[in-house]
Chain A
Amino acid sequence: MTAEDLVFDAELDAAPEKVWRALAEPALREAWLGDGGEVIESHPHERLVLRWTRDEPPSLVTFDVRPVEGGGAHLTIVHSPACADVLTITSRRPVAAPGSWRMAA
């Protein structure tokens, strides 16, 4: 993960399998997310990575699903802008990218 990644967490009142379907089945995904994501990596029930073409140049969106005690699911969304290490994005090493930079805002 690099410094410019944006991370969103959600506790979902649904089984991880169900959350996975909402992520992985194109029609269901489009129903809540709209279009603009191309699947580039899929680990069923755990991780889905989209090339996010609504950003120009395309960015990367990673969804991680894990079960929560009591039957729900925890969803983590990491949105990595295209100025994150582009090689990391295209070669798809894990979410972590070497090196990072801080916004000098």
Chain B
Amino acid sequence: MIGSDPIFRALGDPTRRAVYERLAAGETNVASLTAGLHVSQPAVSQHLATLKSAGLVRERRDGRRTYYRVEPEGLAPLVDWVARTSAFWPERIERLKELLERMDP
């Protein structure tokens, strides 16, 4: 298994990715997140919950307000996937070259 993590599912949704991108620009709340997106506030809250359970987003309560920001460590599985995949293909390409030498023309 090269990459197995909820972050791949969490970031697979375009709206959720848009929410994540906005949070990457800085901490904010649900209302201001919703303002720029063509989805309802409950939908944004749902997306935030998914991002949170995937470890991509962290929340902070300040009185009655809740603020959200990205969890920097959250992307680590994706970074791992990139590292593993970057090692995988050059090795397989070498195997392909060896196979091509053995194959009939």
Whether B79 contacts A12 by the Cβ 8 Å rule is no
User: Scoring B residues 83 to 105 as 1 if CB is less than 8 Å from chain A, else 0, what string do you get?
Assistant: 00110011011011111100101
Contact size class for A? Answer: 35 or more
- Does B68 make an interface contact (CB < 8 A)? no
Whether A83 contacts B11 by the Cβ 8 Å rule is yes
Whether A79 contacts B14 by the Cβ 8 Å rule is no
- Does B27 make an interface contact (CB < 8 A)? no
Interface centre among B9, B70, B90, B96 (most CB of A within 10 A): B96
Provide 12 A-B residue pairs closer than 8 Å at the C-beta atoms, listed in order of the A residue.
A8-B89, A31-B95, A55-B2, A55-B4, A56-B1, A59-B3, A79-B85, A81-B3, A83-B12, A101-B20, A104-B24, A104-B70
* Chain B residues engaging chain A, CB cutoff 8 angstroms: 1-4, 7-14, 17, 20-21, 24, 70, 75, 78-79, 81-82, 85-86, 89-90, 92-93, 95-100, 103, 105
